[in-house]
A and B are shown apart, each in its own frame.
Chain A
Amino acid sequence: MKHQDIQNRLSEYIDGELAGPVLSAVEAHLSTCSECVGIVSQFRNIRAGIKERADVELSGSFSANALRSIRLQIDESGNWTPAEFIARRTVLALSIVVLLLVGLTSFNFQEEEISVERYLRGEASDSAESQILFNGDEISKDDVLMAAVSKQ
Chain B
Amino acid sequence: MTRILDVENLVKSFSLSGGMRVHAVEDVSFHVNRAETFALVGESGCGKTTLANLAMRLQKPDSGTIKLLDTDITHLGTKELRPHRRHLQMIFQDPFASLNPRKTVGKIVGDPLRLNRAASNSPDDDRVAELFELVGLSADDMRKYPHQFSGGQRQRICIARALTLNPSLIVADEAVSALDVSVRATVLNLMIELQQEFELSYLFVSHDLAVVERIAHRVAVMYLGQIVEMGPRRQVFENPQHSYTQRLMDAAPIADPGQRRERALIAGEIPSPVWPEDQGPEKVTLNDLGGGHLVAAE
Do A and B originate from a single complex?
no
Interface residues of A (CB under 8 A from B): none
